[in-house]
Amino acid sequence: HVLSLPAFDSSPGPDPIFFLETSGREVLLGRELCSYESAARAHRNRSVWVLLTSRRLELTPELDQVRSLSNINLRFLNISAYLEGSILQPWYEASLWMTSEYSGFHISDAIRLLLLYNHGGLYMDTDVIVLRSLSELRNAIGRQWLLPILPLNNAVMTFDK
């Protein structure tokens, strides 16, 4: 069984939480589902937006469990449509980002920054497990202690609109 995803309409409401899955896969991994669920449970009063570049997902019992949470929103993100009219549109259309061996990372980085610029809110990578609410954080970027220099990391970012 397959779930067809509605399109992201660019109006996520106040103080959204965003996740991106830009590989185009039609199956979500257990680790990703745990990440979405932990964010939704720690932030019951905020909408959690899981934006995917796949138009559909394979239905699994684990996905059904996550979908049962009232603040989870799974949506298809049409990258070219979302970037249309933004400062990133010329960069995207020129396909300059595709010349890098890290093109998937670059497009994901660009979209997460544009989401926060357009809507504000919290962005997290799909391997982040939330243990308690992050709602008190404002205009912050995550830190990663594994790096020896400048341990800033865009896996967790929150910005006001």
Residue 18: closest CA among 78, 74, 87: 74
Find tokens 């796949």 and name the residue.
Answer: 54
Q: Does position 148 have pLDDT exceeding 80, yes or no?
A: no
Q: Does position 151 have pLDDT exceeding 80, yes or no?
A: no
Collapse the DSSP code of 144 into the 3-class scheme (helix H, G, I; strand E, B; otherwise coil) and give the result: coil
What are the distances in angstroms from CA 62 to CA 21, 37, 47, 69?
A: 17, 10, 19, 12
DSSP 132: S
20-74 confidence digits (pLDDT tens): 999 999 999 999 999 999 999 999 999 999 999 999 999 999 999 999 999 999 9
CB proximity list for 34: less than 8 A, separation 6 or greater: 129
More confident residue, 154 or 77: 77
pLDDT for the residue 123? 98
1-23 confidence digits (pLDDT tens): 999 999 999 899 999 999 999 99
Q: What pTM did the predictor assign?
A: 0.94
